[in-house]
Amino acid sequence: MKQLQRITGLIGLLLMAAFLVPYIMKLPQLDITVILLGGLGLAAYDFYSSGKDDSSS
């Protein structure tokens, strides 16, 4: 079941990136581009950190 969650999480992350990349590439404003990159980075970090095995608790 864990493998299925990783695959669906990766698909969701890729779909989010596919949605945001055109905006990131075309926007002339640096501040909005940084905000979009930050949101994508947070989603990628959440995907990465959710896969870690928390056996300490």
Residue 55 has pLDDT above 80, yes or no: no
C-alpha 55/C-alpha 34 separation (Å) is 35
Res. 32: pLDDT tops 50: yes
What's the confidence (pLDDT) of residue 51? 73
| Mean pLDDT to the nearest integer, 24-42 | 91
Rounded distance, CA 5 to CA 42, Å? 18
Q: Which of 12, 13, 35, 11 is nearest to 23 (CA)?
A: 35
Is pLDDT above 50 for 7? yes
Predicted local confidence at residue 57, as pLDDT:
47
Q: Tokens in use for 41?
A: 């980075």
CA angle (42 as vertex; 14, 39 as ends), nearest 5? 80
pTM: 0.74
> How much is the mean pLDDT over the chain?
87
